[in-house]
Amino acid sequence: MLNKISDFFNSILNTDKNEAEVSLSVEIACAVLLCEVMRADSVFTDNEQDELSAIITKQFDLTPQEVTFMLEKAFELSENASDFYQFTSKLNQYYSLDERIKIVTLLWQVAYADGELANIEEHIIRKIADLLHLRHSEYIATKIAAEQFHNT
């Protein structure tokens, strides 16, 4: 009897784990990292939310309904994540260095969307850039590119 109960709970836990792994697409992983930057300073401005939606729409060529669904899923994962590794490892697995550099540039764009860069946002972007295996010079180049984008 105890074995049956144990097997039942193990099958549920394994099913949940497998579904989570399968459902974590590259797009969702990217969206979670973008959400992490937006949530970093605990201030959610309309500009940041609009920028985040625009980035996801453009980056993945999605409809407004798909963007809404993706953001809901990304915020949920972001709120429950204990670290960035599960998301960055997915990007490292499927994205080239140039694509990972572009993602970090997009992170900066979200950070600058509210008109100011909080230290915590910069810290989080640095951690993500490290996990995406960017060199320091590439990290700085993404920041400069995003600053120029923001100032135009």
Residue 48: give its domain's CATH number.
1.10.3680.10
What pLDDT does 54 receive?
A: 92
pLDDT above 90: percentage of residues in the chain: 61
What distance in Å separates the CA atoms of residue 102 and residue 92, rounded to the nearest whole number? 13
43 band by pLDDT with thresholds 50, 70 and 90: confident
5 band by pLDDT with thresholds 50, 70 and 90: very low
Count of CB atoms within 10 A of residue 68's CB? 13
97-124 per-position pLDDT tens digit: 999 999 999 999 999 988 888 999 999 9
Residue 98 in any domain: the answer is yes
Higher pLDDT, 37 or 12: 37
- What range defines the domain where residue 66 resides? 27-151
Whether residue 8 has pLDDT greater than 70: no
What value does the mean pLDDT take over residues 15-43? 75
Residue 73 in any domain: the answer is yes
Total domains in the chain come to 1
Residue 50 in any domain: the answer is yes
Quick one: three-class SS letters along 55-98? HHHHHHCCCHHHHHHHHHHHHHHHHHCCCCHHHHHHHHHHCCHH
Residue 72 in any domain: the answer is yes
Residue 115 in any domain: the answer is yes
What pLDDT does 129 receive?
A: 97
pLDDT above 70: percentage of residues in the chain: 84
What pLDDT does 10 receive?
A: 55
19 band by pLDDT with thresholds 50, 70 and 90: very low
DSSP-assigned states of every residue in the chain: -HHHHHHHHHHHHHHHHHHHHHH--HHHHHHHHHHHHHHHTS---HHHHHHHHHHHHHHHT--HHHHHHHHHHHHHHHHH-S-SHHHHHHHHHH--HHHHHHHHHHHHHHHHTTSS--HHHHHHHHHHHHHTT--HHHHHHHHHHHHHHHH-
